[in-house]
Amino acid sequence: MLFEATHTHNASNCPLLTPEGKGMLKKLFSDENVKNAGVSIVAGYMSCPADTSVDHKGFFTIEADNSMTVSKFFGQMVVEVRPVQPLSEVAKKL
């Protein structure tokens, strides 16, 4: 199944501002960690660090067996997880 995981954090608390945060993100998205978590990252987009507004957003399209697997993958990062379908699949049902 496909899921969209959305993460939001304040620009002043961006993990990319600290060496620890950068290390956490490198470890989280490492090939080994992704494989061990049982997920596949289909696409990922982030508004940081280019966006200097109040909130940064991360959008991750992830293939996994269920939403709990996606939430568990992100660990302490708070994410909103929703099942999604490709637009082409939705259009076939119109």
Quote helix, strand, coil % in the chain, to nearest 5.
40, 35, 30
Question: Any idea which fold 2-92 has?
Answer: Alpha-Beta Plaits (3.30.70)
pLDDT digits (tens, 9 = 90+) for 23-56: 999 999 999 999 999 999 999 999 887 667 678 9
**Domain map of the chain by residue range?**
2-92
Q: What is the pLDDT of residue 49?
A: 72
